[in-house]
Amino acid sequence: MRACIPLVLAVLCGLAWAGKMESCASRCNEKFNRDAACQCDRRCLRHGNCCEDYEHLCTEDHKESEPLPQPEEETEEALASNLYSAPTSCQGRCYEAFDKHHQCHCNARCQEFGNCCKDFESLCSDHEGFSHSSDAITKEEIQSISEKIYRADTNKAQKEDIILNSQNCISPSETRDQRDRCPKPLFTYVNEKLFSKPTYAAFINLLNNYQRATGHGEHFSAQELAEQDAFLREIMKTAVMKELYSFLHHQNRYGSKQEFIDDLKNMWFGLYSRGNEEGDSSGFEHVFSGEVKKGKVTGFHNWIRFYLEEKEGLVDYYSHIYDGPWDSYPDVLAMQFTWDGYYKEVGSAFIGSSPEFEFALYSLCFIARPGKVCPLSLGGYPLAVRTYTWDKSTYGNGKKYIATAYIVSSA
């Protein structure tokens, strides 16, 4: 498949993706620059889009700056907040990215700046491979493991398993008019034998366990909680998740497989509140199942969910603005659609990937680059995933839930 126009998907979410201006040199406290690859303004920490040298070049020189103003209502893809209780220990926080709103820090440079938590030495500094950079896992390491995950996805769809009818390609400026430019469904054919594979079946069992409207608390039955465990158990049997765990274990992020599984369950399935009622959302619900907030579709970045809802007549495919360069699955599509009458202006999704493949890449990016753009490589093509942390509540000792994860760029 080929891109229908020369664009980067970062445009879709108001995030610039450029090959220049990747440093804060001579840019500290400048205004937001939509054309820059990363930002150096005083709110970049809040939005998770700072350049990698922001902490080194800007933070220490501006310690006494005015407090950051409280943001206006954030969109679904900009949920950062500082309303949680800041942790005071490094338990479960070794290697995390710098967060200005924490009382103390556990990143590789906290000793340089004298702001480590008291237990940093005992919990973090003796870890093998602790890097002297703000992100312990390098860009090259992330791209390398993403290629391994890509090659390991033996459960992905084959060419003959899916027939797409992408139809009308439009420009990003046309997405707001909410016009249906495609009279036929996106999926002409899907080989549903795929769905009998253990990870697909376990994934599909989870999709109807949620109320899509935010503001309505989620209350899981014993069976639904068991389905979460069953999904994690099945994906951990796959080569994809074995590759991811091996990589993160080697990086000293997790000491055991059970610790990894427990953390995945918390970050993805732990409940928090997007609306007025306690526990009305989770990372899994938002990213894979989809939600409706203030009359708009939010999240909903999964092709299996899209196909099943389209088959039931609940999803109406409108158009697309990007079709990825891959000539086999998984591929990437950025599309416009309605879900039971609610509009999604741009929804980027992998097409033809296995559930474990998406789950692995989004988890990798959330762990390695929480709240940042995460550079991947799939089949030799560059790709980026953007994650956001949910900061209004935490689990464990200050660990953050997944707010969202989605594809933001492809070249």
Q: Any residues with CB less than 8 A from the CB of 246 and at least 6 apart, and which?
A: none
Residue 265: DSSP 8-state: H
Q: Any residues with CB less than 8 A from the CB of 61 and at least 6 apart, and which?
A: 28
98 vs 60: CA distance, rounded Å: 12
Residue type (1 letter), 197: K
Q: Which of 320, 344, 399, 400 is catalytic?
A: 344
Catalytic annotation on 286?
yes
What does 294-317 look like in DSSP terms, one character per residue? TTEEE---BHHHHHHHHHTT-EEE
Residue 146's SS3 state is helix
Residue 362 φ/ψ, nearest 5 degrees = -65, -40
Q: Which of 47, 102, 156, 301 is catalytic?
A: 301
Sole residue written with tokens 């999926």: 187
Alpha carbon 284 to its chain centroid, in Å, reads 10
Catalytic annotation on 344?
yes
**CA-CA-CA-CA torsion for 266, 267, 269, 274, nearest 10 degrees?**
120
Both tokens assigned to 93: 């926080």
Catalytic annotation on 159?
no
365 vs 383: CA distance, rounded Å: 12
Q: Which of 102, 105, 156, 286 is catalytic?
A: 286
Secondary structure of 7-53 in the HEC alphabet? CCHHHHHCCCCCCCCCCCCCCCCCCCCCCCCCECCCCHHHHCCECCC
CB 188 within 8 A of CB 165: yes
CB 123 within 8 A of CB 245: no
Q: Which residues pair with 186 in a beta bridge?
A: none
Catalytic residues: 286, 301, 344
